[in-house]
A = this chain, B = another copy of it.
């Protein structure tokens, strides 16, 4: 059932026209028959080289919907669309394009048109667009923009990727602390067009232009005109430095329920702001990274082709193969034992599979807690102990069941003891390794989500195989 509605309507439409057009646009934005039909119509219009129809179909769409429609069209149609109406599209569409479509725009559109479009964007969206261009394209496009815009973009690009400096926009509203409500509102009315498109807070600055507070626009509007900003402002819970990692910024937004946060320069002067819509994007990206990293995929998208998919997964599988082979050499050391008892060959993989899973469970909890800053140097010892005991208890529970099954199956208490023992040992090791490996990687400044699972699987497999064979070897002697 479709329950989130899209009511995009033409700005000056009649009530009756509004109904039908809004229904249409809502259905186009969601997957289904209507969208399929809409896309087929666009492909037709592009095939006919019919700019009037293309304009009528694409221009009323929300920029996000327009970009998502473009991403589903065949390359030939997109090329035609860019050629005929590329310069008429809302510049916001440029901020929403996927990688392949963006490259087509850069290839086909005249550099001057591209420059006009990005100059029209908020500076954070412009940076996001420009940072994906290669050196040469970037220089060409920026050469066609105003010197002030170029300086801003180059300033932002001087910060590392995934930092606050890349996320912030240079457009914000600030007022001195001694202004009152009336003066502030009058000033904003007078400045008009030069204000950012949308803003939610006004930063209050001291004479050195350092931010000392913020006033929500909704509070400003209903306060008496003679009230001073200093009396009205809220304290700033967060002031961001541009080199801050975007993940840390996102955590502050989450903790303090922020809508925007000021960014300052080295001297502490207000230099930009970060808004919550960018943070929503960051949260999504960082979480995707963590999840895929845990499963050993370096980067992925549904638009990837087979070659890209292979490239992002094969390296991890090769490492995995190497580790599995190292483990096999351990098993081969006991080849005499295996020939002797088939039970060992049958039961051995069970132990290591379970140990690997127990390790991954701890790992997922630890990686998440590290990302959320819930796992700190203060509480890490407590968590390590908890994982140790959790591993022991889970090991005893699973070990008892496994030992019982193994004993009944092969009618041997020796096999049962080896089976149960290996589970307990491997689970304790899995718990400790699952927490200590990500903690150690974090301390060495590596991303714990990326590298941990390799180590953890290696160690739990190795312990699983060798403990089983060692116990059996001594018991059977």
Contacts and interface: CB of A to CB of B under 8 A. Distances in A.
Interface of A: 3-9, 11, 31, 35-36, 62, 64, 68, 72, 185, 188-189, 191-192, 195, 198-200, 212, 216-222, 235-241, 243-244, 248-249, 252-259, 276-277, 279-281, 283-284, 287-288, 290-292, 294-297, 300-302, 304-306, 309-310, 313-314, 316-318, 320-321, 324-325, 327-328, 331-332, 335, 338-339, 342, 344-350, 352-354, 356-358, 360-361, 363-365, 367-369, 372-379, 383, 386-387, 389-390, 393-394, 397-398, 401-402, 405, 457, 461, 465
A77 to B, nearest CB: 16
B324 A354 contact: yes
Contacts of A365: 292, 295, 297, 300, 302, 309
Contacts of A372: 284
A7 B235 contact: yes
Given A255-B64, A295-B360, A352-B349, A314 B283 contact: no
List the 10 shortest-distance A-B pairs measured between CB atoms, nearest first: A295-B364, A287-B287, A345-B345, A324-B350, A257-B277, A3-B244, A309-B390, A335-B342, A31-B376, A306-B389
A294 B368 CA distance: 13
Given A256-B64, A257-B277, A9 B361 contact: no
Given A11-B235, A237-B7, A317-B398, A259 B259 contact: yes
Contacts of A316: 357, 361
Contacts of A188: 221-222
A320 B353 contact: yes
Contacts of A72: 378
B281 A364 contact: no
A401 B322 CA distance: 10
Contact of A294 (B294, B354, B389): B294
Contacts of A252: 4
A395 B245 CA distance: 38
A221 B219 contact: no
Nearest to A410: B332
A239 B26 CA distance: 10
A332 B346 contact: yes
Contacts of A185: 221
B280 A377 contact: no
Contact of A361 (B198, B297, B393): B297
Given A6-B238, A314-B394, A357-B320, A198 B222 contact: no
Nearest to A434: B295
A383 B302 CA distance: 7
A238 B13 CA distance: 18
A335 B68 CA distance: 56
B243 A309 contact: no
Contacts of A240: 3-5
Given A346-B331, A401-B318, A402-B321, A364 B4 contact: no
A317 B339 CA distance: 30
Nearest to A279: B280
A291 B290 contact: yes
A347 B327 CA distance: 9
A302 B379 contact: yes
Contacts of A461: 349, 353
A288 B313 CA distance: 23
Contacts of A191: 222
A291 B253 contact: no
A101 to B, nearest CB: 15
Contact of A248 (B4, B305, B383, B394): B4
Contacts of A200: 200, 217-218, 259
Contacts of A277: 257-259, 276
A306 B239 contact: no
A280 B347 CA distance: 46
Nearest to A193: B222
Contacts of A5: 238-241
A400 to B, nearest CB: 11
A326 to B, nearest CB: 10
Contacts of A300: 364-365, 368
A444 to B, nearest CB: 16
B317 A3 contact: no
Contacts of A386: 304-306, 309
B361 A296 contact: yes
B249 A4 contact: yes
Contacts of A198: 216, 218-219, 259
